[in-house]
């Protein structure tokens, strides 16, 4: 049964990868937009990092990972479009009639988000190095561990939001709010130490805080895997909780409306 479930999920994942390959809009939002914002914020970040004691910093050490993390939250919107599109096209019921369970549909259609996020991080980090002098002074495996933990968290959030939201527009609107909230409180727009006291107190409750904390350890402090163990553990543990809650709620998924994705 497990093998059959994996086979069905993999087939759905391959289908979504083919669709993503034909649509450049996700990469515009995930790659072009953060690069543009980095261009404007890097000088300000340089001044802040120098004041923090990083005399050799050029600002990209904060700007590149911070803006990459912030804009990565938009992947939840694209995952929502993938899922709600099946309702807009009236193919969700056909998949279920064919024996595909709800959890399998959701897992199969959100798994390609991991690939999309990997492309985003590779391009923004790579172009950040070429355009802005960004460097990983620490361990690449440590940075990869932080990325993987954040990517799993975002996929789990996508599943949960789909289980909770009744329409694609609700999911997109909520994603936009969470992107700004998690990005701002997490330290993507300004370092956490520069935030108001109330925001500093709340920021550890956001995934952006732990992801950016992990990346800062690698890019600014030259840290290795042991230094990012806590951020990775927090992100991974909370991702498991979100995924478990999503799986429980998906068994009683309410009727979905997908007017905004019928022409997608």
At 185 the pLDDT is: 94
CA 91 and chain centroid, separation? 27
Q: What's the pLDDT band for 263 if we cut at 50, 70, 90?
A: very low
Burial of 214 (0-12, 13-18, 19+ CB in 10 A): buried
3-state secondary structure labels for all residues of 104-145:
HHHHHHHCHHHHHHHHHHHHHHHHHHHHHCCCCCCCHHHHHH
CB-CB neighbours of 230 under 10 Å? 13
Give the per-residue pLDDT at 261: 52
Average pLDDT across the chain, whole number: 87
96: pLDDT confidence band, cut at 50, 70 and 90? low
Percent of the chain clearing pLDDT 90 (strictly above)? 60
pLDDT of residue 95: 67
Give the residue with greater pLDDT, 231 vs 21: 231
User: Is residue 221 over pLDDT 90?
Assistant: yes
Q: What is the pLDDT of residue 108?
A: 78
Q: Please tell me which residue, 246 or 231, carries the higher pLDDT value.
A: 231
Q: What average pLDDT does this structure show over 31-37? A: 95
Torsion angle of C-alpha atoms 85, 86, 90, 96, degrees rounded to 10: -170
Between 23-27, 45-49, 65-69, 94-98, the lowest mean confidence (pLDDT) is in 94-98
Residue with tokens 């990868």, as numbered in its chain: 17
As a whole number, mean pLDDT of residues 134-159 equals 95
Q: How many domains does the chain have?
A: 1
Give the whole-angstrom CA distance, residue 145 versus residue 151: 10
Rounded average pLDDT over 50-62: 93
Q: Tell me what pLDDT residue 88 has.
A: 67
Average pLDDT for residues 97-102, to the nearest whole number?
68
Note if the pTM is more than 0.85.
yes
List the domain range (segments joined by +) for residue 169: 2-261
Note the pLDDT tens digit of each residue in 104-122: 777 777 888 999 999 999 9
């Amino acid at each position: 049964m497990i093998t059959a479930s994996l086979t069905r999920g993999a087939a759905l994942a391959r289908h979504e990868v083919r669709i993503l390959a034909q649509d450049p809009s996700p990469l515009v939002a995930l790659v072009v937009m953060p690069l543009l914002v980095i261009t404007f914020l890097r000088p300000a970040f340089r001044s802040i990092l120098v004041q923090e004691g990083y005399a050799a910093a050029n600002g990209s050490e904060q700007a590149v990972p911070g803006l990459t993390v912030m804009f990565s939250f938009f992947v939840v919107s694209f995952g929502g479009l993938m899922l709600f599109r099946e309702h807009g096209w009236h193919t969700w019921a056909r998949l279920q009639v064919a024996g595909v369970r709800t959890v399998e549909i959701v897992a199969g259609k959100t798994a390609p988000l991991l690939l999309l996020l990997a492309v985003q991080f590779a391009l923004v980090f790579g172009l950040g190095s070429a355009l802005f002098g960004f460097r990983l002074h620490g361990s690449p495996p440590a940075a990869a561990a932080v990325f993987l933990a954040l990517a799993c968290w975002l996929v789990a959030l996508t599943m949960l939001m789909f289980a909770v939201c009744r329409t694609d527009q609700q999911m997109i609107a909520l994603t936009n709010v969470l992107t700004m909230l998690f990005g701002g409180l997490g330290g993507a727009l300004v370092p956490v130490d520069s935030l108001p006291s109330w925001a500093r107190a709340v920021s550890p409750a956001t995934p952006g805080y732990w992801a950016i904390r992990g990346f800062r350890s690698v890019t600014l402090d030259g840290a290795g895997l042991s230094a990012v163990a806590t951020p990775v553990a927090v992100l991974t543990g909370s991702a498991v909780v979100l995924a478990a809650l999503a799986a429980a709620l998906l068994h009683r998924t309410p009727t979905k409306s997908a007017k905004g994705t019928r022409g997608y």
